[in-house]
Amino acid sequence: MTKVLAPPHAYPVPAQRHSGAFAGIEPWRPPNYNEADVSDKPAWLRAIPPMDATAQARNDDVRQKQLETLLAVDEVVQTILTALEETGRLTDTLIVFTSDNGKGWGEHRWTQKQVAYEESIRVPFVVRYDAMGLAPRTDPHLVANIDVAPTFDELAGLPTDGIDGQSLLTLLPQPGAAWRSDFLVEHLGGDKPPTFCAVRNEGFTYVDFGAEAELYDLALDPYQLQNGVGDLAYAETLAGMRGSLRLLCQPPPPDFVLPSATVTLDLAPPASTTETTATFAFTASETGTTFTCTLDGVATGCVSPMTYTGLSAGSHTFSVEVIDGAGGLGSTASWAWVVTPIGPTVTVSDFAFSPAVVSQALGYAVSWSISGPSPHRIADNSGLGLYDSGPLGAGASYVRAFESGGAWKYVCLINPSMTGTVQVIPTASPSSGTQTTEFTVTWAVAPPPAGLAYDVQIRRPGGNWVAWKFNQSALSATFVPDAGAGSYAFRAPDPQPGHRQGHRLVAAGPDQGHRRLTNRLIITPRRRSRSGRDQARAPPTQTWSTESWPGRYVIIAGLTADKGTHAADCRLTRRPRTTGFQVFARSGLIPRSTSACPIWR
């Protein structure tokens, strides 16, 4: 009998006994999935179009089958461990379970390996060595595949001099042992991706392609959506990461030259502004250099400071490249920002906003004009703390751009009885069509703030509002009518913290993504329904008005936590004529990276 084995990079084929084991698994949709706004990414990635429905379906199928193939790996691991135990060799056998690389499942539009994003460079790394008698633990140190060889050599009594990597036999019994603080990632490639050197430390990833670069703050931006190169707040971090890279990337990959001179932006406009004038200041890391500048891809003069006037509304990109004294190209710094036109103006008197409710187009700004005579302070009233004007006296004004849809509630912090709402409606293009027309629905013109995501709802002909897109970093999506002829509506619900569905912004923690929080919701006390399913009773101390709807109300108490460090006490309710539970009270310390108070159905 001849058995043909598929190569490891072919379409995954699970063992027949495991085929379909993960059928119906929830699609993988982390915030960086099929990233909509890649304007801050290098040119090779910007050239990759978003995945259409067919590509997404294929990627989902590949993921399902890959997970199913791993069930056979689990069986093999169990067989090996059983054989070692039955032959008395388990106690003196060093076992390392790992992989050569990770793989994209659509993050940043990427479905392969070869890149320096977390999904590609992070792999499982499990070590078991019973001879040391160590208690199981999760170790936060940065280890790599280059550590395997020196570990085996030291255990075998062989010299480890001149070998890349470090022996784990030092780290395993001593969690506090001195260890590396960063490591090198490098790739020799063609166009997608081109050759690069990268350095990953405990908080940041820096990738250098020679002419372009990426920097990500992994604590604030675990999904690597916001490139920090050119962000003035990261200038010192960027300089340090570039220095580390020059030390680690030696020798560099063939035909790859690390920029000798580097340019740093010292001044740039805000990422979103109503000003039509922008000024940039920049400096080089060495003397005798010159610069070349472009604005929206068009070469301009280039002397620091560089000022541009009469800018149109919309997105703009400035780039400056440094050239060393020998004529060699150095690094490039880029800055993207949005000029937002001013829409409605709200007059702020001592006792009211006029008008209290304004509607405006997506991407416009609202201006508050303080007529006084008392001071006022305009702030976000959603609970997310997205903006705060600070105290403003009579004659002052405050401008805020609203870059995504929703009913944005605001309040005067000095006189909290004064409240108002800015209504921003998502757009659909074209506005009408047939049942085969592909519409583009746009709910934002800028990515969500770090740690947050977008939710969008749909109302089909004759139906109610239901979730359509949630936990999104994308700004838009295509839609083909799926409920016959009639009127379809889209909305971005009110922004509120802690909700997984039903609100425009939701907390999106790095370890939660889009998974159901089945093991994060504790229900007490419990009783059995006639169907045998567990249900929840209201806590004895909880009181709540039943509002004005007749019918049956159900209340549950839940607890959701982020790695045990922060927690929120949630109260959920199911009202009459509704099918799901919604949050009506919450408390506790909730960091931006924590997803609290999930919907429970």
Q: Which fold has domain 186-339?
A: Immunoglobulin-like (2.60.40)
In this predicted model, what pLDDT tens digit does every residue of 416-430 receive, in sequence order?
999 999 988 888 888
Which sign, positive or negative, has the C-alpha torsion 116, 120, 126, 127?
Answer: negative
The position carrying tokens 């209340």 is 555
The secondary structure of 207-263, three-state, reads: EECCCCEEEEECCCCCCCCCCCCCCHHHHHHHHHHHHHHHHHCCCCCCCCCCCCCCE
In this predicted model, what pLDDT tens digit does every residue of 398-407 receive, in sequence order?
988 888 888 8
Average pLDDT over residues 361-386: 88
Across the chain, what does the average pLDDT equal?
80
> Which of 285, 349, 486, 496 minimizes the C-alpha distance to 408?
496
The position carrying tokens 């940065």 is 142
Q: How far is CA 290 from CA 6, 193, 280, 302, in A?
A: 54, 29, 15, 9
Contact 333, 230 (CB under 8 A): yes
Task: Supply the pLDDT for residue 8.
Answer: 60
CA–CA gap between residue 235 and residue 264 (Å, rounded): 7
Task: Supply the pLDDT for residue 172.
Answer: 92
CA–CA gap between residue 570 and residue 600 (Å, rounded): 11
In this predicted model, what pLDDT tens digit does every residue of 259-288 receive, in sequence order?
777 888 899 998 878 888 999 999 988 888
Task: Supply the pLDDT for residue 240.
Answer: 86
pLDDT bracket for residue 599 (50, 70, 90):
very low
- Which of 170-179, 378-387, 576-585 has the lowest average pLDDT? 576-585
**Percentage with pLDDT > 90 across the chain:** 43
Average pLDDT over residues 19-29: 94
Average pLDDT over residues 38-53: 92
> Which of 213, 195, 192 minimizes the C-alpha distance to 204?
213
Is pLDDT of 521 > 70? no
Query: Exposed/middle/buried for 166, CB within 10 Å: 0-12, 13-18, 19+?
Result: buried
Provide the 10 A C-beta neighbour count for residue 350: 16
Contact 149, 163 (CB under 8 A): yes
Is pLDDT of 561 > 50? no
**Percentage with pLDDT > 70 across the chain:** 80
Q: Which two tokens stand for residue 205?
A: 């990833």
In this predicted model, what pLDDT tens digit does every residue of 149-167 receive, in sequence order?
999 999 999 998 888 899 9
Query: Exposed/middle/buried for 180, CB within 10 Å: 0-12, 13-18, 19+?
Result: middle
CA–CA gap between residue 153 and residue 93 (Å, rounded): 14
In this predicted model, what pLDDT tens digit does every residue of 439-458 receive, in sequence order?
898 888 877 877 778 888 88
In this predicted model, what pLDDT tens digit does every residue of 470-503 receive, in sequence order?
788 888 888 888 888 888 888 877 665 543 333 3
In this predicted model, what pLDDT tens digit does every residue of 82-118 receive, in sequence order?
999 999 999 999 999 999 899 999 999 999 999 999 9
Is pLDDT of 70 > 60? yes
SS3 of 44, please?
helix
Is pLDDT of 321 > 70? yes
> Which of 309, 220, 321, 228 minimizes the C-alpha distance to 271?
228
CA–CA gap between residue 406 and residue 414 (Å, rounded): 25
Q: Which residues pair with 457 in a beta bridge?
A: 467, 491
DSSP string of 53-77, one letter each residue: HHHHHHHHHHHHHHHHHHHHHHHHH
Q: Where are the domains of the chain?
A: 16-139, 186-339, 342-424, 426-515, 518-601
Contact 230, 335 (CB under 8 A): yes
Which carries the bigger pLDDT value, residue 313 or residue 193?
Answer: 193
Average pLDDT over residues 371-393: 90
- Which of 31-35, 165-169, 380-384 has the lowest average pLDDT? 380-384
Q: What top-level class would CATH report for the domain 342-424? A: mainly beta
Contact 586, 507 (CB under 8 A): no
Is pLDDT of 29 > 90? yes
Contact 453, 473 (CB under 8 A): yes
The reply to whether 186-339 and 342-424 are identical in fold is yes
CA–CA gap between residue 114 and residue 399 (Å, rounded): 44
Q: Which two tokens stand for residue 476?
A: 């838009």
Provide the 10 A C-beta neighbour count for residue 437: 11
Average pLDDT over residues 291-307: 91
**DSSP H helical ranges for 437-572:** none
Amino acid at 581: F
Q: Which two tokens stand for residue 393?
A: 């006296």
Contact 126, 168 (CB under 8 A): no
> Which of 204, 53, 47, 40 minimizes the C-alpha distance to 118?
204
Q: What is the DSSP letter of 136?
A: P
Is pLDDT of 565 > 70? no
CA–CA gap between residue 590 and residue 221 (Å, rounded): 17
The position carrying tokens 């295509």 is 478
CA–CA gap between residue 19 and residue 12 (Å, rounded): 11
Q: Which two tokens stand for residue 442?
A: 């746009």
CA–CA gap between residue 104 and residue 127 (Å, rounded): 25
pLDDT bracket for residue 189 (50, 70, 90):
confident
DSSP string of 144-175, one letter each residue: -GGGHHHHHHHHTT---TT-SS--HHHHTT-T
Total length of the chain? 601
CA–CA gap between residue 428 and residue 313 (Å, rounded): 20
Task: Supply the pLDDT for residue 496.
Answer: 59
Q: Which two tokens stand for residue 302?
A: 């280039």
